[in-house]
Structure 1
Amino acid sequence: MKRSIFIIIILVSLIGGSIWVYKKFFKSKSNRTVLETVSSTEFEPIQVEKEQRDLFQLESIRIEKKNFRRTIPLIGEVAAVPDQVVEVPSRVSGRLVSIKFVEGSKVEKGQLLAVLDSPELARLRSSFHSSKTKHSAALLNLERIRNLVSMKLAAKQEEIDAEAVLKVNAADLKAAEENLRANGLEPNEETSGKYYIYSPMSGIVLNRNALPGSIVTGTQNLATVGNISRLWFMAKIFEGDLSKISEGSKADVILNSYPDLVFAGVLEHIGEQVDLDSRTIHARFSFSNIGRKAKIGLFGTVKVVTNTGLGILVPQESVFKIQNDDFVFVKLSADSFVPKKVILGSSEETNIEVKEGLSEGEDIVTKGVFELKSLFLKSSFGEEE
């Protein structure tokens, strides 16, 4: 009797274990089957009761083809146009008497920026005036001797010696003039050591490296002046995108600091050499600096226009992923929805192109997508035991 009961218990245990293993195995297999077929476009519609639709706040739109621009995004940063940025050097050593600008000031070409008191400049001017006086005296002396020679009152050798002295003085005068010009000054009657520094171009003072009363050297840059009305955006093109774009292509520059502001640009130059580390090619875009919002060094993205044409655009929030595949929910009726796999293309603002998977006239869900996805996965996978 006891043996029979023992055997029955063992059999019941085996049967119960088999049933549990069966459920777990086929449950897992069923889940794997759903995952394996998720890339298919064939799904059973899910039914959504009115209470759930109200709770999810579902909204949908009807698909229609629209004209839009296909673009390729490239990352990069803002840079100044080299020819539009100029350093303002002190040229001569001395003490800064006054400074007429601050960083961010708008300046015009020829505007006074600073006044420098320079003993070095005083010596240069003194040398120029001394050479000029000697040259004038040598010239008068030569004319005097020539008159004497013509009247047989002086020897020819004296005339030759006077001409030699004049040539030496002329060379000294020329050297003194060039020393002044090398320091940005024209020879004149000024004798002081005052040096006036003017802006070489119109633009904005990008930085200032000067304090009133400070001593500066002849090689020190006091300021940087730049015209930033137009800037460059330096980007990198991947090899696979090189055949899709060309110089002259229009582009939209969008900086990380201003995601809602679009700077209209154009692709000016594509580099001739591949970067061996990143396998990319240098690209230079030129764009207008709207309201001086763009700053040198800011990072961002440039969207290069490859072509324009008709296509299906959907809001980006209507797209969801399952196992790295993209899907949207198609509305079949007021309470029936089915997920459809789609192949995406280029994005435009808040929309994205659907290259395959949707047809014109279909209705897709744009709001409540996350809730529908959760309901779909729950109905597909079921509850874990």
Structure 2
Amino acid sequence: MRLLKYIVLTIIVTLLYSCGSKEQPEATEAHHEEEENAATLTEAQIKTAGITLGKIERRQISGTIKANGILDVPPQQLVSVSVPLGGFLKSTTLLQGSRVRKGQLIAVIENADYIQLQQDYLEAVNQFEFSKADYERQQELAKENVNAQKTLQQAKSNYQSWLAKKNGLLAKLKLININLSELEKGNITSTGNVYAQISGYVTQVNVNIGKFVSPSDILFEIVDTEHLHAELTVFEKDVLKLRIGQRVRFTLANETQERMATVYLIGREIGQDRSVRIHCHIDKEDKELLPGMYLKANVETGGALVSALPDEAIIDFQGKKYIFIPVADEAHTEKEGNEPKHETEEGQHFAMVEIQIGNSELGYTEVTVPDTLNEQSQVVVTGAYSILSKIKNSEEEGHAH
């Protein structure tokens, strides 16, 4: 009977020992994983690294949408100059970059067809005046029943035909800017003038003296740079955040000065690259700016009261965002009342906690932390990268051993 009890007792002890030996590696592995995301610093190390603690704050942070774009001009501020009736370019003084005023003579076109056009107009004017006088005479005769109704109708038709022809030729002459007062005096010219339709700068010169230009050719392009606007490309995911009147902060390439603009038009079509174009009025116009300049912008979508931490408290490690919090070492925790002490004889223990970030403004960033933390939790607000360096050095020493 004693032998049976001894055997049973031996089996129980063996089973308990084997279970304990199986659980030990798992506990060791979990402890090692915890150590990888934690570090212990002495009081001297903390002071040298300038590590300080703070709490998560509630701050007003403006939401922004990042966008790229260019400076552009409205269609009415960009003019392509052409001639309705072709001809040879007789003279021009324009060069790229030339400043022109509205109504300024910028080119002279020459064509023998202009001469025929003026001759036809003068003949039409004479015929019109004759037909008009004849029509008025036939009207007077018709009142006295002297002439036939058919004669009156023919005179009216002749008068209206010459009126239409005269007006048509007059419109053509106006297209080539023929001086009508000189023409009515009998002064016929083979040239027509081209005038600037807006004030601005010449951005393209596509012709030279003696070149024949047709109505489809563009001689010059003139841009009024006093009314440039910013054209931004915003991705589809941000479109619903856009509103007319939102403020825009932007900087030009190779420029640190920040400029301001206002959203005044939002595109109503999603492009093939899943983006939308928005147009913004620039607050302070600058004549030195040029269309096509590249820019980077932030569209302000409005402020909100959010949980935030100083930018220095947030570290970027392996593509993720983290903060450090002081933690108690269970093996050395001392208690005063109900509050645990985080400091031990070895030093202060810090753990790395993954977070999500949002918008940033004035040195603070919106954060989303795990449910285990709240606004009363202590967080490392300065010196976070010093703790990260301590963790990395510890890992390298561990791998070396």
Same fold (TM over 0.5): yes
TM-score, normalised by the number of residues in structure 2: 0.67
Residues 197-346 of structure 1 aligned to structure 2 (within 5 Å):
197-228=194-225, 229-239=227-237, 241-271=238-268, 273-275=269-271, 277-278=272-273, 280-288=274-282, 290-292=285-287, 295-310=290-305, 312=308, 314-315=310-311, 319-328=314-323, 338=350, 340-341=352-353, 342-346=355-359
Tell me if 1:102 matches 2:95: yes
Give distance in 2, aligned partners of 1:160 and 1:44. Answer: 110
Secondary structure in 1 matching 2:182: coil
Secondary structure in 2 matching 1:301: strand
Cα deviation for residue 200 of structure 1 reads: 1.4
Secondary structure in 2 matching 1:384: helix
Give distance in 1, aligned partners of 2:264 and 2:134. Answer: 68
Residues 21-36 of structure 1 aligned to structure 2 (within 5 Å):
33=33
Q: Is the 8 A contact 2:357 2:366 kept in 1?
A: yes
Report the CA distance shift for 1:153/1:301 in structure 2 as closer, same or farther (over 3 A): closer
Q: Is the 8 A contact 1:87 1:223 kept in 2?
A: yes
Report the CA distance shift for 1:355/1:163 in structure 2 as closer, same or farther (over 3 A): same
Give per-residue Cα distances to partners, 1:73-130, cap 9 Å, x unaligned.
Answer: 2334443322332212122222223324333333332222222223233332222112
The farther-off stretch of 217-226 and 247-256 is 247-256
Give per-residue Cα distances to partners, 1:248-286, cap 9 Å, x unaligned.
Answer: 322223344435433322252242x444x54x3524131
Q: Is the 8 A contact 2:356 2:368 kept in 1?
A: yes
Give distance in 1, aligned partners of 2:320 and 2:178. Answer: 71
Amino acid at match of 1:249: Q
Report the CA distance shift for 1:351/1:96 in structure 2 as closer, same or farther (over 3 A): farther
The number of residues matched between the two structures is: 344
The farther-off stretch of 172-181 and 131-140 is 131-140
Q: Is the 8 A contact 1:97 1:213 kept in 2?
A: yes
Report the CA distance shift for 1:293/1:309 in structure 2 as closer, same or farther (over 3 A): farther
Secondary structure in 1 matching 2:399: coil
Residues 1-385 of structure 1 aligned to structure 2 (within 5 Å):
33=33, 38=37, 43-47=38-42, 53=48, 67-139=60-132, 164-183=157-176, 187-190=180-183, 191-228=188-225, 229-239=227-237, 241-271=238-268, 273-275=269-271, 277-278=272-273, 280-288=274-282, 290-292=285-287, 295-310=290-305, 312=308, 314-315=310-311, 319-328=314-323, 338=350, 340-341=352-353, 342-348=355-361, 352-356=365-369, 364-365=381-382, 373-385=388-400
Give distance in 1, aligned partners of 2:31 and 2:93. Answer: 76
Amino acid at match of 1:72: I
Give distance in 2, aligned partners of 1:225 and 1:237. Answer: 32
Q: Percent identity?
A: 17
The farther-off stretch of 350-359 and 115-124 is 350-359
